[in-house]
Amino acid sequence: MNLEALPAVPPPGPVSSPRPVVLVVEDEASYVDALEVGLTSEGFTVVAASTLRAARQRLAGHPVDVVLLDVMLPDGSGIDLCRDITASSSTPVIMVSARSEEVDVVLGLEIGAADYVTKPFRLRELVARLRVVLRRAPPDDEDVVRVGEVVVDLARRTVRRGPRVVELSRKEFDLLALLCSRLGHVVTREMALDTLWWGVDLNDDRTLDTHVKRLRQKLESDPGAPRHLVTVRGVGFRLDP
């Protein structure tokens, strides 16, 4: 069986397709065979790629609904592909690792994976996880902003960080939305205060710092050394993608 061969079937549809299309990026033929049988019977359409190169070709040609991505592949690491997919689309990626140590690596990196499973996994568990990430896959539109592993859906006012939903207060979300609206550009303290607390007589503007601090605690891996919500000294703040 040549796993690199592209399927001869017509291109699958987007998320709304009645049979969600799963791209299985996996070099162990036994897994691919089992997943093709199992996931097909569960109502998915399975396409397979055994290398990073084949996966990239497949993704460039036609979008898929979800990617099941092995960490160790013959021509490199699935982590790199995960980063590329999540940086350029809203396609959810479930990482598959052979060892639990790999899971720590996967989770320690901000690669945007929606979830992960460890081999050997049960089909039932995988199907449940696939359905969860497909349900929450945000639409690929301008209302969705990605910052590292954080996904902000401005229309739905929801925030995810990797697989988890992040709870924000109304003001915290408003501040995040303001920062998203000027992604990569500075938001001055005056701009933030006017937008969020217009007409409110704040005793001091430390309220703004408190909100920034809380956002960092919820969104940054290391809130003490923020990588995304950075301070522009003497001016304001900037959200870096």
Q: Which of 3, 6, 72, 134 binds Ca ion (CB under 5 A)?
A: 72
Identity of residue 104: D
Return d(Cα 169, Cα 50) in angstroms, integer.
44
What CA dihedral angle connects 138, 143, 147 and 150, to 10 degrees? -40
Stretch that binds Ca ion, among 5-13, 66-74, 145-153, 218-226 (CB under 5 A): 66-74
Least Å from the CB of residue 150 to Ca ion: 28
Least Å from the CB of residue 36 to Ca ion: 16
Stretch that binds Ca ion, among 12-20, 27-35, 123-131, 168-176 (CB under 5 A): 27-35
Q: Are strands 236-239 and 229-232 parallel, antiparallel or unpaired?
A: antiparallel
Q: Which of 15, 25, 27, 66 binds Ca ion (CB under 5 A)?
A: 27
Does 220 interact with Ca ion (rule: CB under 5 A)?
no
Other C-beta atoms lying within 10 Å of the C-beta of residue 139: 14
Least Å from the CB of residue 168 to Ca ion: 37
Assign residue 176 a region: left if phi > 0, alpha if psi is -120 to 50, beta otherwise?
alpha
Q: Tell me which DSSP letter residue 203 carries.
A: S
Q: Which of 36, 65, 70, 220 binds Ca ion (CB under 5 A)?
A: 70
Q: Which residues bind Ca ion (CB under 5 A)?
A: 27, 70, 72
